[in-house]
Amino acid sequence: MDSAAYADAVIPPYYDSMIAKLIVKGRDRAEAIGRMKRALEMFVIEGIKTSIPLHRRILADPDFAAGRFDTHFIERLLSKNGAGNSTKTGARWRIALRCRRCT
């Protein structure tokens, strides 16, 4: 994980939209996808809207897992499953990050 945020950090209301970046690798596509699924299960950000639910849905999609995607993949995924992110509002948000090494 690459981030300037830390556990219990306070994120101001005009935060940079990229709070953290999660990167995994594997010997092949299947292993990398499995590691990313595990990492996203352990990655917790509270109090702000994130793209984690969308990334989980992408990784769970059989076409994505098989490498069958194109520039319209996300459009199709959202049309069959809906947008699905929850939003919380407030003047300030608190972030809780927990991530363990996923090997």
Taking only the tens place, the pLDDT of each residue in 32-41 is: 999 999 999 9
Average pLDDT over residues 58-72: 93
**32 vs 10, residue with greater confidence:** 32
What pLDDT does 59 receive?
95
| 95: β partners | 9
The whole-number pLDDT of residue 3 equals 64
Q: Which residue has the higher pLDDT, 103 or 36?
A: 36
pTM of the model: 0.67
pLDDT (0 to 100) of residue 91: 31
